[in-house]
Amino acid sequence: MAIRHPAGRKIRAALLQVHSIAGLGLALLLSLIALTGAVISFEDEIVDHLNADVMQVAPRAMPALSPDELVSRLKVVPDVGRVAGMTLSSDPAAAVHIRFARDEPGGRPSSLYVDPYDGHVLGVPRGEEFFATVRRLHRWLLISGDGKGWGRQITGVAALGLILMLVSGLVLRWPRRASSMKMWLKPNLALTGRGLHHSLHAVIGTWVLPVYLVMAITGLWYSFDWYKDGVVWLLARPHVAAAKMQPKQPRPAGSAETAEAVGFDRAWSTIQREEISGFAKVQLLHQAGPGTVMRIRSWPKGSTLESERDEFRIDAATGQVISSERYADKTLGEKAIAGVFDIHRGAILGWPGKLAFMIAAALMPLFAATGVLLYLSRRKLRPSRQRAALGDDAADGAGERQVAALGNTKR
């Protein structure tokens, strides 16, 4: 017979309390974050499919327009904003994707696809506004301020709570005997009621635990600056960490006018020289802040991940390279830092990884529902257990009185 240690029972009871309280408090929030994450798992593929007709043009023998020529031709289009960035491709059949800066109220106009040969507008990307809203809900809960508001801290607290539940749940589930591993990993669908709820909650939770742990650990990157700085300090080389941990400067008044006046052509010419070996696409972005420095991202041909890119800072007025980060020159830790987003959504494992992460995220409401049902059933069973315990104590007391009476009779 196994001996039950009172200390062990108390620790398990405390862990169960922590697990239950965290789960009840975060059930709806975690379900919302997970479901929105599942929706945007294949955003790129869905948007590309929806916009196949406006993302492609007929290749022509004539040379493509320069970035500044494209911007100047857009000025005749009514209600377009200030061009903040554009994505150009080495594919002669690919349209140019133009993005605009935020307006005075803080809104951002819809981006446009334009013909690289004559600059005429091909169309507004379908699904862009929908996915942008879902993404803001996933990251910041649509709270005002977006990444500068309270939303990112709230999602960060949810991620910390999820880690707490995963660790406590794993300890509570840890098998005491090797023979129980099959039961540990296989749900018993023949059960009903509380037994079925517990089996689904515990067993399927064990399956997705590694995925949830990766999601939570990488999700904290986007919520807390202290966490981000700590990861950079731990994984990056000292000079790289020092550069990345520099505080961001506030965007000064008048920087929009500076960006408007500088243009893209010099930076575009420089990046063509720097990436002489070829690229699949290049993104030119006016950088917030003083001066004329432009941020450039370049993806090589054959790249499958968002993180597999070279990054440059180029003075848009002179074309001089201020700094460059080659993906091939990064250490393993620095590649992990660059790939936080790809790790977070499972893309690091290709489309099977993205699919697995999407399914795991979509299962979060299952744990919320079964967790609440298990909590309610425990509360319902508690009075009967207490009555049973009181009954046992009464029986023990009666037995002791009978023994004492029998001893007195014998004397």
pLDDT, tens digit only, all 411 positions of the chain: 444 567 778 888 889 999 999 999 999 999 999 999 999 999 999 999 999 999 999 999 999 999 999 999 998 887 778 899 999 999 999 999 999 987 766 677 889 999 999 999 999 999 999 999 999 999 999 998 888 899 999 999 999 999 999 999 999 888 766 556 667 778 888 889 999 999 999 999 999 999 999 999 999 999 999 999 999 999 998 888 888 777 665 555 444 555 556 789 999 999 999 887 789 999 999 876 667 899 999 999 888 899 999 999 999 999 999 999 999 999 999 999 999 999 999 999 999 999 999 999 999 999 999 999 999 988 887 665 554 444 444 434 444 344 334 344 443
The per-residue pLDDT for range 282-322, each reduced to its tens digit, is 999 987 666 789 999 999 988 889 999 999 999 999 999 99
In degrees, to the nearest 5, what angle opens at C-alpha 154 toward C-alphas 150 and 160? 145
H helix or E strand, kind and range, residue 260: helix 255-262
Residue 378 within any structural domain of the chain:
yes
269 is a domain residue: yes
328 with 267, same domain?
Answer: yes
Q: What's the domain range around 153?
A: 7-51+127-223+345-398
Looking at the structure, tell me whether residues 377 and 257 fall in a common domain: no
**Claim to verify: residue 236 and residue 309 sit in the same structural domain:** yes
Same domain? For 96 and 185 the reply is no
Q: Is residue 355 part of a domain?
A: yes
What is the secondary structure of 192-231 as a DSSP string?
A: -HHHHHHHIIIIIHHHHHHHHHHHHHHHGGGT-HHHHHHH
Would residue 305 count as lying in a domain? yes
Whether 325 and 232 share a structural domain = yes
Q: Are residues 354 and 331 in the same domain?
A: no
197 in any annotated domain: yes
| CA distance from start to end of the chain | 38
Taking CA 363 as the corner, what is the angle to CA 359 and CA 365, rounded to the nearest 5 degrees?
A: 150
User: Does residue 337 belong to any structural domain of this protein?
Assistant: yes
Distance separating alpha carbons of residues 217 and 392, to the nearest angstrom: 47
User: Which of 325, 344, 363 finishes a domain?
Assistant: 344
Check whether residue 141 and residue 271 sit in a common domain. Answer: no
Q: Is there a single domain that holds both residue 69 and residue 197?
A: no
Q: Are residues 102 and 158 in the same domain?
A: no
Task: Indicate the number of domains in the chain.
Answer: 2
d(CA 170, CA 31): 20
Q: Pick the closest to residue 60 from 93, 97, 90, 96 (CA basis).
A: 93
Per the domain annotation, does 325 fall within a domain?
A: yes
In a domain, residue 22? The reply is yes
Which residues have a Cβ under 8 Å from the Cβ of 269 and sit 6 or more positions away?
A: 319
